[in-house]
Amino acid sequence: MYNMYTLDNGLRVITENIEHLNSVSVGVMIQNGSRNESEELNGISHFIEHMFFKGTQKRTSKQIVEEVENVGGQINAFTSKEATCYYIKALNTHLDLSLDILSDMILNAKFDSEEIEKEKGVITEEINMSQDSPEDVLDDEHSKVSFGSDSLSYPILGTIPKIKSFNREKIINFISEKYTPYNSVISVCGKFDESELKKLIQEYFGEWKSEKSYIPIYTSPILQSNSGFVNKEIEQLHISLGLKGLPYGDIDNYSLVLLNNILGGGASAILFQKVREELGLCYTIYSYLQPFQGTGMLNIYTGLSKNYAQKALEIIDKEVINFSKTGITKRQLEINKEKIKATYILGLESTSSRMFANAKNYLFRNKVFTQEEVIEKINNINNENIQNVLDRCFKPGILNASYVGQDIDSESLNSVIFKDIKAYNNSSNINKFEI
């Protein structure tokens, strides 16, 4: 059962009590990520995430993690394009400790100048490690290709020159503006006493104050028709193709999840069966969704020999076009409703997964759907919904592409997929390219 309320300081709280468990997951999610940064400060949100672990007025960096791990708990954090989350999972008997440590990190961090300089080296190595991963390089390149000058194109980690430019003053100023109770949510899921939890949250977070409220406002960037290529001395060619997706919270999102599942969501999907199983052109191929506030994208990824790239792109392009025209059968619709219901339900079998899902929904939509409501939405997907998404997302075809590999003729590869964009641009409604 969900309980949602707001503290006097504007901090929203969502709790879900699951009595039969003996664990509890606690998270503080802030509506701030790389999308909220200026170009000059790109990477500072992720940098700040690291710095919150580097010591407070009453705990050293070692004590922060040691106190949690000494009771068998787990503590971690992540930064995405649109949010940052700090969380602890522990036995329910250590709920007080979890809230104490999270509040101490977020409200009492020292941001010692010496620690800041040391962390620049750590994050520089994290960036270097990311640059050694073709998939990470591909993802960053495709963001640039897809979103152009919009801040959605910025890499979450930032760049090494930007990281080296950060100092205590920039960090404190950014936090004072972007870390407020008004754009944050505390999410708790597991076993707890509701009245005791309410007192603890008030005790540890009730004094969180901000000079002004920060409510992020996002643009709805047009998905660019473009391509990018990064030359890297590796064996395979890594390819990412972008189709139009849907924004987070769109009414047709469940229909898009279903269609994506059929196209590239597993080993029985169209692309896997055609490109890998039937033709043997690759080892890995799949599609996935990237929903953001006000915009979204559907990506197709594959890694293969550059000698097979043109053939693979021809097949992928053909399958996307056929899919947009022929749609799906009634049997496919019913089978894939069951698949996505199972994926949804299995994904909620851990308190941390539920905590994250609740936090994100409450943070961005100010509401949470029950499991019954979600299942009902999936069950209610009909042919009209499916056709609407086929028209919105698949009919325009492949809009952009990025490649990472060695000595690639990207122009030849682009000629395979971008011919459909030209044809679609000449059709009746060019605005269908706008997200």
Tokens at 67, concatenated:
């106190």
Given a contact cutoff of 8 angstroms between Cβ atoms, the answer to whether 355 and 189 are in contact is yes
Nearest to 98 by CA among 130, 123, 75: 75
Nearest to 220 by CA among 241, 240, 249: 249
Tokens at 266, concatenated:
């597993």
Q: What are phi and psi of 332, to 5 degrees?
A: -60, -40
C-alpha distance across the termini of the chain, in Å: 35
Active site (catalytic) residues:
49
Cα 343–chain centre separation: 17
Cα 382–chain centre separation: 27
- The label of the residue with tokens 């894939």 reads 336
Between helix 113-131 and helix 44-51 the angle, nearest 10°, is 120
Question: Helix %, strand %, coil % for the chain, to 5?
Answer: 50, 20, 30
Strands of the sheet containing 74-79, edge to edge, are: 2-6, 12-17, 184-190, 23-30, 84-91, 74-79
195 membership: H or E segment, kind and range:
helix 194-205
Tokens at 112, concatenated:
């010692």
Amino acid letter at 331?
R
Alpha carbons within 13 A on the beta-carbon side of 135: 8
Nearest to 352 by CA among 107, 85, 96: 85
